[in-house]
Amino acid sequence: MKNIRNFCIIAHIDHGKSTLADRLLDFTGSVTDREKQDQLLDNMDLERERGITIKSHAIQMEYTYKGEQYILNLIDTPGHVDFSYEVSRSIAACEGALLIVDAAQSIQAQTISNLYLALENDLEIIPVLNKIDLPSANPEEVTDDIVDLLGCDPEDVIPASAKTGLGIEEILEAIIERVPAPKGEPDAPLQALIFDSVYNPFRGVETYFRVLNGEIKKGQKIKFMATDKSYFADEIGTLKLKQQPKNIIKTGDVGYLITGIKDAREVKVGDTVTSTENPCVKPIEGFENVKPMVFAGIYPVDTEDYEELRGAMEKLQLNDASLVFAPESSAALGFGFRCGFLGMLHLEIIQERLEREFDMTVITTVPNVSYHAYTKKNPDEIIIVNNPSDLPDPSKLERVEEPFIKATIITKADFIGPVMSLCIEKRGVITNQTYLTPERVELSFDMPLAEIVFDFYDRLKTVSKGYASFDYSPIGMRPSKLVKVDILINANSVDALSALVHMDNAHTIGKKMCEKLRELIPRQQFDIPIQAAIGAKIISRETIKALRKDVTAKCYGGDISRKRKLLEKQKKGKKRMRQVGNVEIPQQAFMAVLKLND
Amino acid sequence: MAGIYLHIPFCKQACHYCDFHFSTSLKKKDDLVIALVKEMQLRKNELQDEPVETIYFGGGTPSLLSVQELKSLIAAVYENFKVIADPEITLEANPDDLTEASLVGEQSKTIFEAYKGIGINRLSIGIQSFFEEDLKLMNRAHNAKEAKKCIEAATAIFDNITIDLIYGIPGMSNEGWMQNIETALSFNIPHISSYALTVEPKTALEKFIEKGIVKPVDDEIAQQHFQLLVDTLKEHDFIHYELSNFGKEGYFSKNNSAYWLGKKYLGIGPSAHSYDGLHRSWNVANNSKYIKSLQENILPSEVETLSTVDRFNETIMTGLRTIWGVSLNKVKESFGEKYLEYLIQQSQKYIEEGLLEIDNSNPSLPVLKTTAKGKFLADGIASDLFLLNLQ
Ligand SMILES: Nc1nc2c(ncn2[C@@H]2O[C@H](COP(=O)(O)OP(=O)(O)OP(=O)(O)O)[C@@H](O)[C@H]2O)c(=O)[nH]1
Ligand code: SF4
Ligand SMILES: [Mg+2]
């Protein structure tokens, strides 16, 4: 046990965690030349395409230091704010953390938020100053920033380049010297924390665990404490690049477990694994339930796929404990699920994963945050509004509250003006302004969550030319002036397109939605009026002109094949549409509200 | 029964809207004719003694071939295939090749008499418009005067004549279009093919519209022109037997009807397509490659096998364009009960909207057709009635 080190890599987005993990894997000989590739641990297609980490990834390395053999369990974590839940679970399995700071960008919002997560769990922090090879690197200043933040010695900060490999040996040395070996009772009953799980269509659920006390043996009968169900440990092993089956995983170590569980619901991340014969007394304190920030409906494009969609969502949830969902139904779309997400990137990724990994084409409805409504009849009873249709009729409504957040923005002093205007436009109120250095300012705002979940990030990046980072935490509910904007297509109200918006924005948003829908809905054989309404009052109107001609002039011997293929392609496109009334609405139109500014 | 199509891939100049396969250099003309004959020899067994009913010279511009060359090609058809006693032999011709100047051989013989002499019995003349400005805009090789003159001359020798007219040309008014229709009718010809001007990708026309040199084509105007055309020709006893084709009783194009009725055809020449009921093949769309390949006795073609679903889809697609529609009995016979049920169920919505109808005028032979209102939307409807192959 004294030769095991468990650590994670944490940082702001893009500061080089996954690249640094590559170098550590190279240096310790954990990957062969053939297996090497950039950001090797980002193995999901989506991660590779987008160049970001979405899921934490654990991997084991072996390293000889001063003549002794060590086992190093590394967990690479995501940096994007939507995925901070992944970070907190990884932290629970570790004694130490490499805190990576980009030498050109210095401390950013998620550097701080992830650092605090690690400190709350008493992790030993090893600061790493990365990307010092960059011409724009500012090693001295950024080291000072780190020293200020952590209260450490400048010598504790390890200068490194994940690109050139500089500093890697020093990092490994620091991991062994500074991160404490795991503590735990080898002879106590088995007590292991489930910190992650994945669904494998061939092998069922794979559970990743960290042994706190005791040990786990292959074939042993084990129990999950929260569900109180017992299984046989059919296969256990360590997480090398490929899983490596073992007969035993001892105290302090990290491994995987396969029990043949096929039903996603039986495994809960945060649960404790123990021995059925000799159980431990108490479960490990698990994880706080994640609180979703954004809600949206997810519906199968083909109504018949509802059950299949449920199965897919359950399996995804196993990979992503932060996804929550409950059945709901819509007049326009039939049966589906109301889902909670950590943010818009999370929503987008779930939608894409459903499509790629489960071949499920879905419609996602207009997202909203969670409101509290109170009626005149029952002014003390909270009605939780996660769906526009849950909002009571305006005549019965007494008041509405919306979630507020404290937004922390770190930016260059040059951009205070534009950042400030943006936050005020988004109904923010400044609460604090601190100069971290003469050039860098931390601004705090109280803001409605609804204003930041949609396009706030992109706008912030634009107004600050990329020199602003952003973090937020909920600060409770506050009174709001909320209205429901309904959309009527061909005179039929389409509930799935309704949006909850602040009264002051209702007209602009209604107008833009009509315009966007006119663009996105293909012309059909008749004129289609599109209207936005608040209650019975129409606030905007557009018309999609009828299709007048939809036939090629010529269709002779040489045209038939080509033409058939073209029409087949059109037919495939139609499969991505939903018929509402007699109008075909394409899948992406339901998300139109998000693209209003494109 | 089968048809033979010969593709003559040469044109004097490129019309701005055209995306057919052709070359404006006539250098390879001799070699091409040899290659066409060679292709027929190599494929002589493909029709398996099925008699040839129609021979069709299309293009490109077949009237760029000499009468002698055309004669040799017709002879090659007879040598290699079984031909019925009185086949329809059509020649596509452009007005600029049909002027008085093109007298041939024996002094008094006009080009029309010469064509007739070698067995051609149907002329398809690429008029497109009788207005100078339209012809210029489209970069046609002939002028308005030639257009009128050549029809006049042709009618003296041929009775089975068809002309092409284009509508929806930017700048063309409804009145202008009506004048074109009336001029055409004044020659008392029995057939008219009329097409909406279509902006094909990568054509000069597309570029000009992009650059704002030519106004964009307006679907609404095209639809009005189409309506005028349909109504006027109907008054003059033309039968609207295919979306773009109008013929008097007994004068429908036999060759083209074969495409829409799913009959077999053999396409000879670069880019030509063939269909044997189960496979479709097409020749390379490149004159040099085509000629070279045939010099080496190799057919320069690719083949695809049509699945049942493919054939079902084609039946719908072509059927909805024609007066014959989609025979429900035939769907059942060729594809089975399931397909028929699907088709009927999927059509329901369009029947209710008045875009499709089931014609029961012969109760034992019900047919699914587009209505007058549905015709101009036939592709969108067809696509919706399609089945998709399971991948
Ligand atoms: N020049 C230079 N570039 C680096 C260095 N480390 C990482 N990068 C680059 O920085 C970008 C982001 O690197 P990643 O390793 O994906 O960053 P990350 O922190 O894992 O990002 P997320 O997981 O999305 O939070 C990539 O383009 C890397 O090539 C470095 O030391 N020097
Ligand atoms: S003459 Fe016919 S084939 Fe040749 S370019 Fe013009 S339209 Fe096309
Ligand atoms: Mg990463």
CATH of the domain at A305: 3.30.70.870
Same domain, A503 and A542: yes
Residue B278 vs residues A252, A309, A359, A422, B304: alpha-carbon distances, Å: 68, 39, 32, 64, 9
B223–A548: do the CB atoms touch at under 8 Å? yes
Are residues A8 and A156 located together in one domain of the fold? yes
Alpha-carbon torsion (B350, B356, B362, B364), positive or negative: negative
Q: Which fold has domain B308-385?
A: Arc Repressor Mutant, subunit A (1.10.10)
Provide the number of structural domains found in chain A. 5
Please report, for chain B, the start and end positions of each structural domain, with discontinuous segments joined by +.
Answer: 2-261, 308-385
A288 domain residue, yes or no: no
Handedness of CA A415, A421, A427, A433 (dihedral sign): positive
Among B317, B349, B377, select the one facing A550 at the smallest CB separation.
B377
Q: How many CA atoms lie within 13 A of A126 on its CB side?
A: 26
Residues A402 and A346 in one domain: no
pLDDT tens for B325-335 read: 999 999 999 99
Closest CA to A455 of A343, A587, A292, A342: A343
- Please give the pLDDT value at position B391: 46
Query: What's the rounded Cα separation, in Å, for the pair A410 and A445?
Result: 12
What pLDDT does A399 receive? 94
Residues of chain B with pLDDT under 70: 100-108, 390-391
Could you tell me if the CB of A133 is within 6 A of ligand 1? yes
Domain boundary, last residue among A439, A464, A480: A480
Query: Could you tell me if B231 lies within 8 Å of chain A, comparing CB atoms?
Result: no
Residue B102: predicted pLDDT: 52
What secondary structure does DSSP assign to A341-353, as a single string?
ESSHHHHHHHHHH
Task: Specify whether the CB–CB gap between B359 and B371 falls below 8 A.
Answer: no
- Find out whether A22 is annotated in a ligand binding site: no
Task: Determine whether the interchain pair B260/A561 forms a contact, defined as Cβ–Cβ distance below 8 Å.
Answer: no
pLDDT exceeds cutoff 70 at A598 = no
To test the contact with chain A by mutation, choose from B383, B384, B386, B391 the residue with the greatest count of A C-beta atoms within 10 A, namely B383
| Substitution site in B16, B61, B136 for ligand 2 pocket (most atoms within 8 Å of beta carbon) | B61
Is A19 touching ligand 1 by the criterion CB < 6 Å?
Answer: yes
Residues of A in Cβ contact (< 8 Å) with B244 = 553-554
Q: What is the mean pLDDT of chain B?
A: 94
Dihedral class, residue A129 (left if φ above 0, else alpha if ψ from -120 to 50, else beta): beta
Query: Rounded distance, CA A521 to CA A440, Å?
Result: 46
Residue-level pLDDT at B36: 98
Range of lowest pLDDT (A89-93, A298-302, A314-318)? A314-318
Structure tokens of A66? 């001063």
What is the domain-level CATH number for residue A409?
Answer: 3.30.70.240
In a domain, A282, yes or no: no
The verdict on whether residue A377 carries a ligand-binding annotation is: no
Atom of ligand 2 nearest to the CA of B60: 3
Q: What is the pLDDT of residues A376-428, one digit of tens each?
A: 999 999 999 999 999 998 889 999 999 999 999 999 899 999 999 999 999 99
The alpha carbon torsion through B255, B259, B263, B268 (nearest 10 deg) reads 70
Q: What is the mean pLDDT of chain A?
A: 92
- Quick check: is A285 in a domain? no
The answer to whether residue A185 is domain-embedded is no
Instruction: Say if the Cβ atoms of A560 and B223 lie within 8 Å.
Output: no
HSE-up (13 A, CA, CB side) for residue A259: 21
Question: Could you tell me how many CB contacts below 8 A there are between chain A and chain B?
Answer: 105
Regarding whether A454 and A353 lie in a shared domain, the answer is no
Q: Does domain B2-261 have CATH number 3.20.20.70?
A: yes
**Nearest CB neighbour to A552, from listed B198, B265, B273:** B198
Amino acid at B152: E
Residues A420, A425, A431, A435, Cα dihedral to 10°: -10
Q: A18, A19, A101: which to mutate for ligand 1, most atoms within 8 A of CB?
A: A19
Q: Are residues A261 and A298 in the same domain?
A: no
Residue B75's contacts (CB-CB under 8 Å, 6 or more residues apart) are: none
Residue to probe by mutation, ligand 1, list A10, A18, A41, most atoms within 8 Å of CB: A18
A16 CB near ligand 1 (under 6 Å): yes
Which residues of chain B are within 8 Å of residue A564 when distances are taken between CB atoms? Answer: 310, 313-314, 317
pLDDT of residue A437: 84
Count Cα neighbours of B241 within 13 Å in the Cβ-side half-sphere.
22
Residue with tokens 């006390």: A213
The pLDDT assigned to A23 comes to 96
Check if A23 has its Cβ closer than 6 Å to any atom of ligand 1. no
CA of A169 to the centre of ligand 1 (A): 19
Q: What is the pLDDT of residue A219?
A: 95
Domain assignment present for residue A286? The answer is no
DSSP 8-state secondary structure symbol assigned to residue A377: S
pLDDT given at position A24: 96
Domain co-membership, A168 together with A206:
no
Atom of ligand 1 nearest to the CA of A79: 25
Give the C-alpha separation, A138 to A158, whole Å. Answer: 14
Closest approach of B257 to chain A, Cα-based (Å):
9
Collect contacts of B133-139 with beta carbons under 8 A, ≥24 apart: B133/B171, B134/B166, B134/B169, B134/B171, B134/B172, B137/B16, B137/B169, B137/B170, B137/B171, B137/B214, B138/B15, B138/B16, B138/B17, B138/B166, B138/B169, B138/B197, B138/B205, B139/B13, B139/B14, B139/B15, B139/B16, B139/B204
Tell me, yes or no, whether A169 lies in a domain: yes
Q: What is the distance between the alpha carbons of residues B124 and B94, in angstroms, rounded to a whole number?
A: 8
- The residue type of A378 is N
CA nearest to A488, candidates A524, A527, A526, A541: A541
Which tokens is B252 given? 């429908």
Domain end residue (candidates: A321, A337, A365): A365
The reported pLDDT for the residue numbered B94 is 96
CB B29 within 8 A of CB B293: no
Secondary structure letter of residue B366 according to DSSP:
-
Distance A14 CA to ligand 1 centre (A): 5
Residues A537, A580, single domain; the answer is: yes
Contact residues on chain A for B388, CB-CB shorter than 8 A? 568, 571-572, 575
Two structure tokens written together for A475:
């600060």
Pick the residue whose CA is nearest to atom 6 on ligand 2: B15
Distance from CA of B102 to the nearest CA of A (A): 30
Residue A430 assigned to a binding site: no
User: Residue B322 and residue B320: Cα distance in Å, rounded?
Assistant: 6
* C-beta atoms of A574 and B384 within 8 A: yes
Q: Which domain holds residue A24?
A: 4-178
* Cβ neighbours of A570 in B, within 8 Å: 380, 383
Q: Strand A191-200's sheet: what is its strand order? A: A229-232, A221-224, A272-275, A191-200, A204-213, A254-258, A235-239, A243-246
Do A440 and A342 fall within a single domain? Answer: no
Question: Contact B271/B288 with Cβ under 8 angstroms?
Answer: no
Q: Is A68 in the same domain as A162?
A: yes
Distance B229 CA to ligand 2 centre (A): 23
Q: Is the peptide bond before B250 cis (omega within 30 degrees of 0)?
A: no
pLDDT at A560 over 90: yes
Q: How far apart are CA A98 and CA A171, in angstroms?
A: 9
A359 is in an annotated binding site: no
Residue A547 with chain B: CB contacts under 8 Å: 219, 377, 380
From the CA of B141, the nearest ligand is 2
Do residues A300 and A440 share a domain? no
Give the pocket of ligand 2 (CB within 6 Å): B 11, 14-15, 18, 20, 22, 59-61, 94, 126
Q: How would residue A129 be classed by pLDDT, with cut points 50, 70 and 90?
A: very high
How does residue A174 score in pLDDT terms, banded at 50, 70 and 90?
very high
The residue from A444, A462, A480 where one domain ends is A480
Using a CB-CB distance cutoff of 8 angstroms, which residues of chain A are in contact with residue B195?
Answer: 553-554
Predicted pLDDT at B108: 58
